[in-house]
A and B are shown apart, each in its own frame.
Chain A
């Protein structure tokens, strides 16, 4: 049976992440909470914490806040200010290779290199999502009517990928072959980068806000329906013409967060009513990991080995679930 070590957070859990063995929870009120480390809590942002994501080496959490600061928080509770844009709300953040961090506010995005140097990028319309390409220093930005790909260090015009509508979240497939955005309408859009082929993934009753790639790039798991929807990306043409998997179907709640297991074909699903469930791909076997309560699940993260799952909800419930065979 899974065992839950609960934790009370004084706010909306914006992000959960394992920094080594320590689970870190970023609270919308501005602090980062820890489970299993030397510190239990460290204040970071004054006017709310709006976004957080782990660094690529998994050792620290990078956060952006309403105070315009971008901070790096380590498992020992130490806080390093990476940059500050006075009076801006930093609500989009992405981490890249070589300790680089990208963040945006309105129509401007910045990349902070390891050296501390800031590179600035502009768009005509607001930045809505940022991600780094898996290889090379390339920054992809979701925006209205498509995506813009910037070279961070090299000169050269940015590449534009167009698709009408408002794109918000953005991610690359781990193999770098596909770029997928979540949209304002209830749909995903994808591009096969080799030939810019468009891929439309629709049929959701709600907005897709959470996506996660399964191990070996096989599936893209998504929220936005009463089941987790997993689009197959094994074939050459991605999910086109194929039916997605539907896992963890519920009659009475929507999926709010998904997180694929790091080594197995298994998915952790968080629901609007607070339930957390793990589901195996091949036989749809379900295990309830947390009963409903304390608001929609807003964050889920596996540790590196996939033995423990950190979760958090909009109403400040959080914890670490240990799965015991």
Chain B
């Protein structure tokens, strides 16, 4: 982005199902002595125990910006609250938005890209999801929102780890990784986490797409390599126990160590419709790429939750970084390719009902002649 010397207020969005521990995290952030002053926008005051001048209750008012397109939904109340906060610019350093447990995170995130005034005043720093290690598997079966929240996140607190066994935890983490292989996952009890791991992440800054997590795309590739297809020769017979929620799977596997990036179906029925795809290619033809990315985000926007990429355009000495939420796409030149750096183009999609094979073919068709 070219807004020079960015004086915009960073915004952190907290999502997570009811009871996952969002309020605990919020209280922790507010009570810690870190010298940063937060304006906090909550749906209801509830159990926030901290007396904060800038604690605002705001009813979630989702509305459509243009022609009723579902991709262009924003939070009207946030637009207004941010405008109001700007009348007290000197009173706080950052904004935290807590969403309700069932909220779709997209309108919240989109508000910070689609409204000109909000965009001028504030920048989205990261979407943080608090996930209850004990109940999330059930939530994922019951609802789409839980899945969306995970898919959308840059940082995930896998909370209440003390309430599950190591095996269960590994299973939960694998389920999360399957939806979103790129988020930073932190294991926590009662949301105990260093504040720096949650706030000031810069996850939406194009310049930091990679720097934030050098493993980001490597992991993607790795996970993708392990995506099991119909002719995969792994042993999928992990034992399909069906005795309630007490999944004590035997994860010992003769030839495969299951790690956090493991993509196997660990005996859960695969109810997740959100998947991620990562592709790599060489130098791209910029014109062909832009035509394609605009088209694909217009047509498949409703199904694309997040998109990130680092691209190498032919005859262009600079790396180009791009990111998107649904139909919103933004990109910019980042910096010169380093001499010892391998020039290549990599892109990642997280979405629902995406046709990975078609995306791959189309992306590869952008390669420069």
Contact = CB atoms under 8 A, between A and B. Distances in A.
B61 interface: yes
Given A144-B61, A206-B116, A12 B86 contact: yes
A89 B86 CA distance: 14
Contact of A207 (B57, B89, B116): B116
Contact of B53 (A12, A47, A185, A206): A47
B53 A126 contact: no
Given A185-B66, A207-B116, A11 B88 contact: yes
Nearest to B55: A87
Contact of A128 (B65, B80, B88): B80
B282 interface: no
Nearest to A28: B87
B80 A48 contact: no
A87 B57 contact: yes
A178 to B, nearest CB: 25
Interface in B46-100: 53-54, 56-59, 61, 63, 65-66, 68, 76-77, 79-81, 84, 86-91
A134 interface: no
A50 interface: yes
B119 to A, nearest CB: 12
Given A50-B84, A87-B57, A144 B89 contact: no
A49 B59 CA distance: 20
Contacts of A66: 53-54, 56, 84, 88
A91 B77 CA distance: 12
A107 B58 CA distance: 10
A87 B79 CA distance: 20
Given A144-B63, A185-B66, A12 B87 contact: yes
A12 B77 contact: no
B76 A48 contact: no
Given A106-B59, A144-B76, A91 B84 contact: yes
Contacts of A88: 57
Interface in B294-338: none
Nearest to A26: B87
Interface in A152-174: 164, 166
B47 to A, nearest CB: 14
A303 interface: no
A66 B117 CA distance: 21
B45 interface: yes
B88 A28 contact: yes
A184 B87 contact: no
A89 B89 CA distance: 16
A184 B54 contact: no
A48 B81 CA distance: 13
Interface string B110-142: 000001110000000000000000000000000
A255 B312 CA distance: 41
Contacts of A14: 87
A84 to B, nearest CB: 15
A184 B76 contact: yes
Given A144-B63, A207-B117, A184 B88 contact: no
Interface of B: 45, 53-54, 56-59, 61, 63, 65-66, 68, 76-77, 79-81, 84, 86-91, 115-117
14 contacts: A11-B88, A12-B86, A14-B87, A48-B87, A48-B88, A48-B91, A66-B54, A66-B84, A91-B80, A126-B59, A126-B61, A184-B63, A184-B115, A207-B117
Interface of A: 11-12, 14, 28-29, 46-50, 66, 87-89, 91, 106-107, 125-126, 128, 144, 164, 166, 184-185, 206-207, 314
The 4 closest A-B pairs by CB, nearest first: A28-B87, A12-B87, A48-B88, A106-B59
Given A48-B87, A89-B81, A126-B59, 5 more contacts: A12-B88, A47-B54, A50-B84, A66-B56, A128-B80
